[in-house]
Structure 1
C-alpha cells in the first residue's frame, strides 16, 4: 500500500522536507498479488520504495510485514506494529488513512492509528483518490508544479499500481485531482486533508 500513501501525501512529504522536517513512512502490510503473497512482487515493491526514498528525501521506511487484505481480522496486530514505529520515531505529526475508504485494509489502519497515534499532537487524515469516499477536507497544502511532478514521478515507480486514464491512478488522473483540490482552496494545485487532531502548545 506504499503507492496509496504517495497518492495522498506525496506533496506533503516534500512540503515537510522543504521546511527541514524529518519524514518517515510506515508500510503496515506486504502487498499481495491476485490475493496471494508473491515474494518477487514484494521485492519489487521494496525496490520501488528505495527509489522513492531517494527522490523525496524520506529518512526511513518501516515495513511491518503484516498480511495485506487481512488487516481487519486482527486489529491488535496492526496497533502493536504501528505503536512500535511511533515509539521509535516519536513524531510530531502523523498522516493516517481515511475511515471512509472502500479498501478494508485502509479502514483497518485508520482504526489502528486512532489508538497507536493517540499521544501525537497533530493528526491529519489523507485521501486515496481511487478508493476514498465521502471526503470533506478542511486543510490544504499548496503544491508547486515541481512538487506535483516529483510526486507523479515517485508514483510511477510503482508500475503495477498505475493505470490508464481516466482511472484516478493514472498520470493524468494525478494532475486532475491536484487541480481540483487546488480550485477548492483558490490555488492552482493542492493536496487535501482532514485535520483530525491538533494540540497547540
Structure 2
C-alpha cells in the first residue's frame, strides 16, 4: 500500500467521522509523504439524531473541518444530503455529482465504504462511487479501495460472501495516535469500551490489522481494482 502515498487521493464517506475511522492513518501518512488528500462526505451527518437542528449540523461540520485539518487534508467537500436517508436520493443524481468531483479532482486513488456495511447510507455511497469510478480508458483513477468502519463493517457481515476480507494493508504505527486525536474531535461520537467506537477498540483494531502483516498497527483495505 505504500505505492498510494504521495499521490492524489479521495476518501469518500457517508458521514463525518467515517473518514477518520476508515482512513485516518492513510490521510496523515499521505500528507507526510507530500501527497494531496481530499475528503468528500455525502450527508450533513446529524439529522437522524437531531432532526433539522442547524446548531447540531454546524457542530458536526466544524468537527469534520477540525479533524481533517489534523490529518493534513487539503480540501473537504461536505454535502447536505439527509443523514440515514441516502436511499431516498436519486441514484443518478448521486452518481453524477460524484463523477464530477472525481473527474475535476484528477485523483489517482479513491477510498470508500465496504458494500456490505450494516449502515445503509454506506451501501448507497459505495454503489454510486462504483459507478463514478468505472475504469474507462479516459479515467485517471488507478485504484478503488474499500475500508473498514468499526461498528458498521463487522456488524454487516450476514454471510461469508459478504465478509470484509482485506487484501491490502498500510502500516500506520507512526500515525495511530494522530488518527485517535482526530477521532477525539468527534466528541459526541466516542463511546466507552467495549463499544467498537471507543478509543481502545479503534486502537485494538489497528493493532490486530497490523499483527496480520507483521507491523505494529495498520489500516486494512479491500482492493476493488488497481491498475
How many angstroms apart in 2 are the aligned matches of 1:110 and 1:76? 13
If the length of structure 1 is used for normalisation, what is the TM-score?
0.93
RMSD: 1.3
Structure 1: unaligned runs, 5 residues or longer? none
Q: Which residue is 2:77 aligned to?
A: 62
Question: Which residues of 2 match residues 26-65 of structure 1 at below 5 A?
Answer: 26-31=40-45, 32-34=47-49, 36-65=51-80
Q: Secondary structure at the match of 2:42?
A: strand
Q: Which residue is 1:132 aligned to?
A: 153
How many angstroms apart in 2 are the aligned matches of 1:57 and 1:130? 25
Q: Tell me by how many angstroms 1:88 deviates.
A: 2.4
1:90 aligns with 2:118: no
Question: Which residues of 2 match residues 1-201 of structure 1 at below 5 A?
Answer: 1-31=15-45, 32-34=47-49, 36-73=51-88, 74-118=90-134, 119=139, 120-133=141-154, 134-144=163-173, 146-199=174-227
If the length of structure 2 is used for normalisation, what is the TM-score?
0.83
Structure 2: unaligned runs, 5 residues or longer? 1-14, 155-162
Q: Tell me by how many angstroms 1:13 deviates.
A: 0.6
Q: Indicate if the aligned counterparts of 1:27 and 1:64 stay in contact, CA closer than 8 A.
A: yes
**Structure 1 runs of 4+ with >6 Å offset:** none
Q: Indicate if the aligned counterparts of 2:39 and 2:75 stay in contact, CA closer than 8 A.
A: yes
Deviations 1:119-161 (A, max 9, x none): 32111111102100321000000012x4110100101101111
Q: How many residues align?
A: 198
